[in-house]
Structure formats: structure tokens, C-alpha cells
Amino acid sequence: MKLFDSELKVMAVLWREGDSTAKRISDILKEEIGWNVNTTYTVIKKCVRKGAIQRSEPGFLCHALVSKAQVQASETDELIDRIYDGSADMLFASLLSRKALSGEQIERLKRIVEEGK
């Protein structure tokens, strides 16, 4: 499932807040990014059609059907395939060359690599 930036904004609210009414999501996104109610409701409906959100009554209650981890994994796989020709090590090398890491971050990455063996 491919979620666009606008859809990810709605999902982020559900992942952070848990099940919420469309009105509550709209209120949060109005405050955070200035969306009007119609924009929020349109994006929610797109997420429902894609199967990312389940809508129930009363009150147009929204429930996330996909987890943040699932979306992150899917997006990461797509990035690796599209930009790095399927090479996870090239993505990793690119990330390491772009940002200085603390000793703690380096140790955490070493543990992740060891656990992945």
C-alpha cells in the first residue's frame, strides 16, 4: 500500500493519538498544519478506500488498519529498490556518509548489524 504525504499526516495522528473521530483528526491537523475540515475528510476517505483506515459509527470513528512499522518497512523497501537498485548496503553507506554519528549511535548500529547476521 502506497500512502502519500497527506495520507501519512492523517495516519500519524492516528498512530500517535489512537482511534479518533474524523472531527478530532481535523482539529489536530488544523492546529498543526492549517488544514481545513474538507481537506482532512477527503484525505481520510482516501485512506479508507486504500484500506489504511477503518471508519465506524457513531461519529465517524477512525481506526488505523496498518501500523507505523508496516508503513515504514514498505517505504524503506521501496526506497531501497527505487533509489539503490535493491542494495540495502548502499543505502546504509549513503546514510553514514551524510551525517556524523555519536559513539552511542555507532554502537547501536553495530548491535543491529550483529543481530541481523
Residue spans of the domains in the chain: they are 5-64, 68-116
pLDDT score of 31 more than 80: yes
* Mean pLDDT for the chain overall: 93
Q: Closest by alpha carbon to 4, among 36, 69, 52, 38? A: 52
Alpha helix ranges (H) inside 20-87: 22-33, 37-50, 68-83
Sheet holding 61-64, edge to edge: 20-21, 61-64, 53-56
100 falls in which pLDDT band (50, 70, 90)?
A: confident
pLDDT at 42 over 90: yes
CATH code of 5-64, in short, is 1.10.10.10
Phi and psi, residue 54, nearest 5°: -105, 130
Residue with the larger pLDDT of the pair 100 and 104: 104
Q: Is pLDDT above 80 for 35?
A: yes
Backbone angles phi, psi at 98, to 5 degrees: -100, -15
Q: What is the pLDDT of residue 67?
A: 97
Confidence at residue 37, expressed as pLDDT on a 0 to 100 scale: 96
Q: Calculate mean pLDDT across residues 54-83.
A: 94
